[in-house]
């Protein structure tokens, strides 16, 4: 179950979630995606929304349909690397935009990233 954020279309948020699963290795090339109905039930969203998710994934070349069988994750070489790159850029872009809204400059942003990362490492060692 994912918590949807307020204002962007839900289908795009599910697309992002599936891309994240591909990057993280939870979904692999050649894997069959669950049916529209199953995805709709598990996210508690409208089946038409899920239909749009699949169309978007196909349009971007992330998945391909096989008539009468289902939709599969593309086995195209370099897909994971490409998604890794675009998704990382997208997430970082959002963060940077928010920091700039606070009036932070380049050095401050980098400094903050470093602080959080180091903080996380310390937490890990304490556990």
Partner 1 sequence: MMILKTDKVGKKYLNKWALSNVDISLEQGKIIGLLGPNGSGKTTFLKLVIGMIRPSSGSVTVCGMEIGYKAKEMISFLPDSEFLYNWMTIREAGDTYAAFFKDFDMARFNELLQFMALTPDMKFKGLSKGMKEKLAIALTLSRNARLIVLDEPLNGVDPVAREQILGAIVKSFSHESTILVTSHLINEVENILDEAYFLKEGKIVLHGSTDDLRSERNKSLDELYREVFAC
Which residues would be at the binding site for partner 1 (CB under 8 A)? 4, 6-11, 37, 40-41, 43-49, 52
For the bound state, the minimum distance from the C-beta of residue 35 to partner 1, rounded and expressed in Å, comes to 12
Three-state SS at 64: strand
CA-to-CA dists, residue 49 to 5, 10, 23, 43, 117, angstroms: 15, 7, 23, 11, 36
What is the closest distance, in whole angstroms, from the C-beta atom of residue 123 to partner 1 in the complex?
31
Q: Which is nearer to partner 1, 13 or 112 (CB)?
A: 13
Cβ partners under 8 Å of residue 42, min gap 6: 1, 34
Q: Which tokens is 3 given?
A: 């918590």
Instruction: Name the residue nearer to partner 1 (CB basis): 8 or 86.
Output: 8
Measure the CA–CA gap between 123 and 118, rounded to whole angstroms.
Answer: 9
Give the C-alpha separation, 44 to 126, whole Å. 38
Of 70, 13, 22, 76, nearest to 45 by C-alpha is 13
CB of 89 to partner 1, least distance (A): 21
| Residue with smaller CB distance to partner 1, 27 or 50 | 50
Least distance from partner 1 to the Cβ atom of residue 40, Å: 5
Q: Which is nearer to partner 1, 28 or 94 (CB)?
A: 94
């Amino acid at each position: 179950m994912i918590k949807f954020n307020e204002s962007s279309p839900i289908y795009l948020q599910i697309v992002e979630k599936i891309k994240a699963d591909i990057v993280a290795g939870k979904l692999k090339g050649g894997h069959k995606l669950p049916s529209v109905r199953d995805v709709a039930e598990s996210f508690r969203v409208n089946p038409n929304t899920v239909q749009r998710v699949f169309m978007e994934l196909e349009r971007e070349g992330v998945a391909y349909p096989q008539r009468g069988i289902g939709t599969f994750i593309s086995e195209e070489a370099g897909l994971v690397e490409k998604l890794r790159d675009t998704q990382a850029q997208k997430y970082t872009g959002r963060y940077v935009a928010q920091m700039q809204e606070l009036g932070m400059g380049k050095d401050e942003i980098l400094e903050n990233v470093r602080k959080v990362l180091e903080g996380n490492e310390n937490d890990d060692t304490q556990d």
